[in-house]
Amino acid sequence: MSGAVAAQWLVVGGYLFAAVLLLFRSRHVAVMAASLASVVWCLHLLIIYRRWQEIGQLPIVTRYEDMTVDALAVAGVYLIIQWIKPDIRLAGRYVLPMAAFAVGAALWYNLGSVPFSPALRTNWLLIHSQLNSLAIGFSTLAAAVILLPDKAEATNKLMAWTFFLWAAMVATGSYWASIAWGRFWGWDPIESWSLATVMAYAFVMHLRLRPSWRQGSRTLVALLPYLMLLFTTYGLLMIRGSIHSQYLFN
Amino acid sequence: MVSYLWRRLASHNLALVLIGVLTLIIAAGGTLPQTNRLSPEQLTAWLSEWPLLSLVLDAAGLSNVFGSWWFLLLVLLLLLNMTAGISLLTSYRLAQYSGTKRPQYLLQGDGHLPDLTTLMAEGGSSRVYRRGLLGLMGIPLFHLGLALIVVAALWSAWEGYGAHFELSEGETYAGQTERLKADKGASHAVKFDALLRLDTVHVEIKDEKYLIDLKAKFSVQEKGGDVRYEVVETNHPLAISGYRLYPNNTMGYSAAFDRILPSGERRGLFIHFQAPPSSWGKPYRLERNLLFEWGAFPLFSRMTLSRDKTERLALRVTKAGKEIANRNLEPGDVVDLGEYKLQFRGAVPWLGFYLASERPMWMFFCAIIVTLLGYLLHLLIRFRRVEVVTSETGWEVMAWTMRGDGPFECRWQQWTDQVKER
C-alpha cells in the first residue's frame, strides 16, 4: 500500500471517528469531534496537494481525483459553517460519513493519472469543477440539516446556496461549451440532468414557501433534489453516454 | 377580467406544477434514448434491440422530448407564468419599499416613544429607516433573467446555425454548402463570404492513446481582403464571416488526388478516411467505400489507404457492376476511369470542424449574468424598512422585511420584550 493510499484510509478513519464522537450529547465532545475532523481535513488537503504536485496538473480528471476533491469540499463546507454556526454541528453525524465514504470509494477506481485533453486546458475547468464540488458540499450539508429538528431556516439558506452554486456551475459549463464546441446547450444527458436538478431545487424551494409546508412530514421531498444531484454527478455516466465523458472520468 | 387572468397566470400553484412537470420531463429526456440524437447505427440498434419499448416511448412522445410541440408549450407557459409573476412581485416589492403594504411587524403604544437602538442596530434615528433595495429586487431580477434565458434559447432554436465539415491539409473551403453536414437550423445560415485554407495540422498524442494537443493553422481571406494567418484550437475558435469555427476532435487521413478532366484541367480531390487519435503517427490501414457521381453513370469504389514505409492506395472501381479499375497506387500513379483520370498524390491529414452562427448567444449569457446576479443580491442583501409614527396619543412602529429574515425577527422579539417590560 502506497503512502498516499494509507493516508487516504487514515482520512476515512478520522472522519468516521469524528462522526461517532458527534453521537455523544456532550457539547465538549462535539467540539473535540469538529477539531479532530478539521485536522483530518488538513491531511485530506495535503493528499490532494501532493497529487497535484506529482502529476503536474489539477487533479480532477479521473473519477478517483474527482471523488477525493468532492469529499474535501463536503467536509470543508461543513467544517467552516459549523465553526460559524455551531447549532448545525450535529449535522456532521451525516456529513462526515458521506465524506469518508467518498474518500474510500474513490480508492476503488483506477489511481493512475490521465493527461488533460485540449478541451480541458482552460481556466474554465477550475471554475466549473470547483463550483460543482462546492455545490456538492453545500447540498450534502443541506440534506444533513434537513434531518435535524427545528432547522428550517438553516435548511432554506443552505438549499438556496446549493441552488445558486449548482446553477452557476451549469452556467459556466454552458459558456465553456460555447467556446469549446460552438453551442451553449445540447440536451446531452449530463446537461439535461443538471438542469433537471436545478429545477428540482427550484421546485422544493417554491414548495417551502407555502404555508402548508411542514418540515417533518416532507423531508423525503426535500431530499429528492439532493439525490438527483448525486445521480447527475456520479450515476448518470454509468448508464448513459455523454459528450462530457470523452474528456473526464475515462 | 384581464387583471384576473394575469393573476391566475402568475399563480404560485401554476409555477409549482410547471416546474415539477418540466423537471420530470427533462430528467426523462436525459435518461431515455432520444432518436434525434442517435447516429443511424445507434438508431438501428435501439429499434432492433428494444422494438416494443421504442414503440411505446415513441407513442408517448418520449423519444424526442426536447423537439416536441408539448415541451415547447410547457416552456412557453412557464415563460408567461414568470413574466406575470415578475410584474406582480415587482409591484409588491415596491409597495413594501414605500410602506404602502400592510407591515409584517407592528407594535403600538402610548406615552413616550421607546428607545429604538436594539431594533435598529445600524443606528437609524429617522422616522423611516430603509436599507437593502437591491436585495428586495433580487428575486424579480432573477426571474427576469430566467425569462430572458428562455427567450434567448427560443431565438437560438429558431435562428442558430451549426454544421460539421472536414478539411484536409492544403485544402480550401469557400462556403460550399454541399460540404456541410447541418446539425442545427439548416434554413437560416448567413452567407459565408471567405476563403479558408488549412495550411498545417498539428496533433499530439501522449502514451499512444491520449490526445493532448490539436492545432489547425489557416490562411484566411475575408471578402476579398488581405490574407491573414490564424490558429484554431479547442477553446480558441476562429471568428470568420459571421461564423465561428471550432475543431470538433474528429480526424483522419485523406487520399489526395488530382482529378484530370478530358480538357487537361486538374482539380484537387480529397477522400477522407477516419482514424482514431490513438492511431495517429503510426502505420495505418484504413478502408472506405464511396460512390462517385461525376459522370452519366455513378462509379462505386472500394479504397484501402495504408502507410507502412510509404503511402499506398488500393483502388477498385466498378461502373454498373463492371470492374473498370483495380490498382495499387503509389504517390504519382495515375488511374484511368474512362471519362477522367485520377492521379494519386499521397496521404495528408484532415480535421473535422464545426461551423456555427449563434447571434442569440450574447443575449443568453447576459441573461445568465442577470439571473445569477439577481439571486446573489437576494442571498447577500436583506431588505428592511422600519417606520415610526408618533402622535399626541401614542406611537406606532411598523416593519417590513423579506421572508425568513431570522436576525430581524430575533431583534424585533428582543425589542418588543424590552418595551413590554418597561
Cβ contact (<8 Å) for B19 and A118?
no
Measured between beta carbons, the chain A residues lying within 8 angstroms of B16 are 203, 206-207
Alpha carbon dihedral B73, B74, B75, B76, in 10-degree steps, equals 50
Tell whether A149 is within 8 A of chain B (Cβ): no
Measured between beta carbons, the chain A residues lying within 8 angstroms of B68 are none
Measured between beta carbons, the chain A residues lying within 8 angstroms of B207 are 115
Measured between beta carbons, the chain A residues lying within 8 angstroms of B15 are 206
d(CA A225, CA B354): 35
Measured between beta carbons, the chain B residues lying within 8 angstroms of A174 are 364, 368
| Comparison of pLDDT for A209 and A203, the residue scoring more | A203
pLDDT for residue B224? 84
pLDDT for residue B319? 85
Measured between beta carbons, the chain B residues lying within 8 angstroms of A195 are 26
DSSP B225: -
In degrees and rounded to multiples of 5, residue B330 shows phi and psi of: -115, 160
Which of B34, B246, B361 minimises the CB distance to A184? Answer: B361
Measured between beta carbons, the chain A residues lying within 8 angstroms of B249 are 118-119, 246
- Give B143-200 pLDDT, tens digit per residue: 999 999 999 999 998 888 999 999 999 999 998 888 898 888 866 567 888 999 999 9
CA-based nearest residue in chain B for residue A116? B212
Cβ contact (<8 Å) for A183 and B358?
yes
Could you please report the per-residue DSSP string of B54-115? HHHHHHTT-SSGGGSHHHHHHHHHHHHHHHHHHHHHHHHHHHHHHT-SPPSEEEEEESSPPP
pLDDT at residue A184 greater than cutoff 70: yes
Q: pLDDT means per 10 residues in chain B (422 residues)? A: 85 94 96 86 87 89 91 96 93 90 89 78 67 91 96 91 93 90 75 92 87 93 92 94 92 92 88 85 88 78 90 90 89 87 92 92 95 96 90 87 86 88 76
pLDDT for residue B272? 92
d(CA B237, CA B224): 22
Interface size between A and B, measured as CB pairs under 8 A: 133
Which of A176, A181, A207 minimises the CB distance to B16? Answer: A207
Name the one residue in this structure whose C-alpha cell is 447516429.
Answer: B39
Cβ contact (<8 Å) for B372 and A171?
yes
d(CA B311, CA B395): 97
pLDDT for residue A170? 97
Tell whether A161 is within 8 A of chain B (Cβ): yes
The grid coordinates of residue A114 equal 490521465
CA-based nearest residue in chain B for residue A225? B23
The answer for A 114-133 residues in CB contact with B (under 8 A) is 114-119, 121-122, 124
Which of A116, A153, A203 minimises the CB distance to B20? Answer: A203
CA A195 to chain centre: 17
| Cβ atoms B34, A228 nearer than 8 A | no
Which of A117, A153, A191 minimises the CB distance to B212? Answer: A117
Summary mean pLDDT of chain A: 92
A222 CA to chain B: closest CA distance, Å? 13
> Sorting pLDDT into bands at 50, 70 and 90, what band is A215?
low
Residue B52 — left, alpha, or beta (φ > 0 → left; ψ -120 to 50 → alpha)? alpha
Which of A161, A171, A193 minimises the CB distance to B379? Answer: A161
pLDDT for residue A180? 93
| Comparison of pLDDT for A28 and B390, the residue scoring more | A28
| Cβ atoms B99, B401 nearer than 8 A | no
Close Cβ partners of A116 (under 8 Å, ≥ 6 residues apart): A57, A61, A125, B212
Measured between beta carbons, the chain B residues lying within 8 angstroms of A191 are 30
pLDDT for residue B30? 93
pLDDT for residue B39? 80
Q: Hey, of B17, B31, B184, which one would you mutate to test binding to chain A, going by the most A CBs within 10 A of its CB?
A: B31
Q: Hey, of A138, A163, A203, A237, which one would you mutate to test binding to chain B, going by the most B CBs within 10 A of its CB?
A: A203
ipTM value: 0.93
Helices A219-230/A152-180 angle, 10° precision: 30
Least confident interval from A173-182, A232-241, B123-132: B123-132
- Give A103-134 pLDDT, tens digit per residue: 999 999 989 888 988 989 999 999 999 999 99
Measured between beta carbons, the chain A residues lying within 8 angstroms of B355 are 182
Cβ contact (<8 Å) for A199 and B22?
yes
